[in-house]
Amino acid sequence: MRTLSLALVMVFASGWALAGSVDLVVRDKHGRLVRDLTPTDLEIREDGTPVKIEALHLSTAGHPSETGAVHLVSVLFDCNSEDASSIVRETANEISKQLGPNLLISVWQVRDDLRLIQPFTSDEAALRKAFLLASSSKARAGVIPAPVASAANAKSAAGEQIPEMTLKIIAASQELMRERHARPLLAALLAFAREEKSYSGRKTVLYISDAIHISTLTPDQLRAVVGEANRSAVSFYTADISGVTDRARDEASQMMMDTLGMGAPSTSSALYQQASRAESMGLSNSREGFKRKQSTAQGTQMQDLANLTGGATTASSSALRKLVRNMLEDTSNYYEVTYPEHTGKYDGHFLALNVKVDKAQARVQSPSGYFALPPGDTSNIEAFELPLLHALDSGVPPEETIWFDSKAVQIPGTGGKNSTLLLIQVPLSGLMAREDDSNKVFRMHLSLAALVKDSSGKIVQKAGQDIGLQGAIEQLQQARKDVYTFERSLSLAPGDYRAAIAIEDNNAVKISSKTVTLSVPSPSRSLAVSDLIVVRRLEPLPAKADATEVLQYQTMRVVPDLGSRHTPVADPRHPVFFEILPDPAVNERPRAEAELRRGAAAVTRFSIPVPEGKPGEHIPVLAALNNPPPPGDYTLTLLVTQGSSSRKKEVTLTIPEEMGESDVAESVWSGEANPESEKHTSFNVAPKLLPNVQRPSDSEIEAILRGTRARVEDYKRTLPNFICMTVTRRFIDPTGRGHGSQPIPAFICCGT
């Protein structure tokens, strides 16, 4: 037996014992609840192994399994359509009919983040007000006021537990978005699945969506949600209202078929995104056939989320009322099944659960399985992390079968606190790609975990992420030249630390690990300078940039280059980024000077202009080599001074042989006075146009169009839900000289 020294104390044993339990809902062929089951009517297999049923208890609305138990329903809206208000009203009306002392409802919305509209309550008036707000234009715009302050019912029913759990759900979703860069919907679903675990009553989430956000979840992400939900006994019920109403769905089909027949493109891309999967050999010519085939990727994901967590689903707005009615009925009428201890391992694999009922045409709603995680409080452990943590704990570092680089960067912080940025960079050339020929995409699956230990060996922080990468097959070779970069901001006290890092290529089933040392200095009360970061590229930040994004330059995100020997040089000019935090007590702008050395010989010295900053704020600086020096290893030394204070930083630059010889200019840095230096960078975000480029001839253009058409037809034959049409747009001659209109062929494509 080996003990892993995690702060939360988990034991890696050869086996573990855990009493199993599962909640079931059983209905007959008419949809009526089955209330007369006995243990002999059930067969449960866990990972294919039959288990002996120890107890079977029917929990009903009048007789909850635990005295005073309160059942929870969280209604989560993900609706963009203005017409969804009718759906919201139907939901409110149906829920109001079955409100009672043992049932509490909360109302939520997910947009750029998870928003609470109404805390858990049984107050009908408060819920109707919350549902009305959920369907308002403010909700569609993502502007939700403070939630209605009426959690009194929840407090009276279950003390402080439910309000505290509600706050934890919000905090968990924000942490997942911030620390793991999870998309808002994924963060919301995982937050519900994890944070409701501590509550012992029946827990249900009703997810109503007319958006396409859930279709962006990868199979591994969906499995993570399902596994967490089943482990916490949280059931998802889903309603796909992408058509809003059956009539609207039919109208959308009619519009699509009319568009295909007339050759006129629709102005709404959402219409194409809602289109059905076409036949593998192309679209059916029949409008009825087209409508019968309407099954989007979103619908598939929503069905899986419900069916695999013991819930139910609908893709028809006319059936929404029945879904809500059955959900509320299931919430208060279900079987609790317990079975004896089962031997297994803490290896994080998915334990499949199979339930059969010896009743003719009976339908069972049960969880599909859960992850093999240790019992107790393991909210800080992800299933994908277990093999990685076990590899780190084994004491034997795996062979370097997966190339990756790592580095710790110190960023000066305001308020006397420093920020340590842990960077891990994995070249995609070292990962196995699985090719999906039917959908013409490739997929890579990468997992990583890092344990940060202090000088005594105590784990002070853990970081990790499970990453699914996907792209078009024709872009695979280009993608292999790129890297995946993991960034995590660590809050560490001054001192020396070690970060043990493990990487797993899930497709190849390989794990590699290494350790990086880091030293956190005491915060400077005067001038402070960050470590130097070689820049791989700049990426545009979203309109709503994450405030926790540490590496930012103006409106761009800085992607570092850790100098992997397995990837080509992204920019031969080796841009360098750093931040200066001036001493507010010194009324003088900081000055920056640099020296480039090869070995002991100085190649050049130069100054770097420092822009004027606001008091108490960082000054970001980005500069680049105008001309790269000859191949070799160089050391760049930066000296920043302000008043009597000075700070020195160094970084290594490697100019590879394949770049070829290049003359070193008198000054190789972008510090000369020119328009670009006023921006304090000569890093070109947009590439320069090639000189002397001639327009292709008409025959060359026609050849390009023929090739494009052939490629489109190839996609249509092999990609079921790919729609493409050729449209001729005519532009009126603006000169009025009688030349007439010019037919311009254009390709309108949509699909997965």
Task: Say whether both 751 and 677 belong to one domain.
Answer: no
Task: Say whether both 400 and 490 belong to one domain.
Answer: yes
Position 5 pLDDT exceeds 70: no
Q: 661, 688, 715: which is the final residue of a domain?
A: 688
Task: Say whether both 413 and 479 belong to one domain.
Answer: yes
Grade residue 29 by pLDDT with cuts at 50, 70 and 90. confident
Residue 641, H or E segment: strand 632-642
Grade residue 348 by pLDDT with cuts at 50, 70 and 90. low
Would you say residue 491 lies in a domain? yes
Position 736 pLDDT exceeds 60: no
Q: Between 142 and 396, whose confidence is greater? A: 396
Position 139 pLDDT exceeds 60: no
Q: What angle do CA 117, 121, 123 make, to 5 degrees?
A: 100
Q: How far apart are the first and last CA of the chain?
A: 48
Please give the pLDDT value at position 19: 47
Any residues with CB less than 8 A from the CB of 287 and at least 6 apart, and which? 253, 254, 257
Position 196 pLDDT exceeds 50: yes
Matching residue, tokens 């190839």: 714
Cβ 386 vs Cβ 8: under 8 Å: no
Task: Say whether both 49 and 79 belong to one domain.
Answer: no
Q: What share of the chain has pLDDT > 90, as a percent?
A: 14
Q: Of 17-21, 218-222, 293-297, where does mean pLDDT reach its minimum?
A: 293-297
Cβ 746 vs Cβ 708: under 8 Å: no
Cα(669)–Cα(574) distance, integer angstroms: 10
Position 26 pLDDT exceeds 90: no
Please give the pLDDT value at position 112: 83
Position 94 pLDDT exceeds 70: yes
Position 153 pLDDT exceeds 90: no
CB atoms within 10 A of CB 648: 10
CB atoms within 10 A of CB 226: 25
Please give the pLDDT value at position 666: 32
Cα(295)–Cα(290) distance, integer angstroms: 10
Task: Say whether both 157 and 267 belong to one domain.
Answer: no
Cα(362)–Cα(26) distance, integer angstroms: 7
Query: Considering its fold, how many domains does the chain have in total?
Result: 5
Please give the pLDDT value at position 737: 42
Supply the range of the domain harboring residue 262.
255-293+698-752
Average pLDDT score over residue span 277-288: 29
Any idea how long the chain is?
Answer: 752
Average pLDDT score over residue span 637-660: 84
Grade residue 722 by pLDDT with cuts at 50, 70 and 90. low
Q: Of 193-207, 259-273, 331-345, where does mean pLDDT reach its minimum?
A: 259-273
Average pLDDT score over residue span 297-317: 80
Task: Say whether both 683 and 587 belong to one domain.
Answer: yes
Check which CATH number belongs to the domain holding 466 and give it. Answer: 2.60.40.10
Grade residue 694 by pLDDT with cuts at 50, 70 and 90. low
Task: Say whether both 321 and 351 belong to one domain.
Answer: no
Would you say residue 693 lies in a domain? no
Check which CATH number belongs to the domain holding 110 and give it. Answer: 3.40.50.410
Task: Say whether both 194 and 328 belong to one domain.
Answer: yes
CB atoms within 10 A of CB 62: 8
Task: Say whether both 505 and 544 belong to one domain.
Answer: no
Any residues with CB less than 8 A from the CB of 485 and at least 6 apart, and which? 423, 424, 425, 426, 536, 559, 560
Cβ 541 vs Cβ 580: under 8 Å: no
Would you say residue 247 lies in a domain? no
Q: Between 285 and 650, whose confidence is greater? A: 650
Grade residue 682 by pLDDT with cuts at 50, 70 and 90. very low
Cα(232)–Cα(220) distance, integer angstroms: 18
Any residues with CB less than 8 A from the CB of 380 and at least 6 apart, and which? 7, 8, 462
Cα(234)–Cα(197) distance, integer angstroms: 8
Position 752 pLDDT exceeds 80: no
Q: How many CA atoms does the CB half-sphere of 616 hold within 13 Å?
A: 3
Task: Say whether both 283 and 404 belong to one domain.
Answer: no
Would you say residue 569 lies in a domain? yes
Would you say residue 249 lies in a domain? no
Could you tell me the sign of the dihedral formed by the alpha carbons of 223, 225, 226, 232, in that order? Answer: positive
Cα(18)–Cα(370) distance, integer angstroms: 13
Q: What share of the chain has pLDDT > 70, as a percent?
A: 67
Q: 497, 523, 549: which is the final residue of a domain?
A: 523
Task: Say whether both 628 and 712 belong to one domain.
Answer: no
Cα(232)–Cα(137) distance, integer angstroms: 34
Q: 320, 349, 376: which is the final residue of a domain?
A: 376
Average predicted confidence (pLDDT) for the chain: 72
Would you say residue 190 lies in a domain? yes
Q: Between 482 and 17, whose confidence is greater? A: 482
Name the DSSP class of 277: P
Task: Say whether both 328 and 340 belong to one domain.
Answer: no
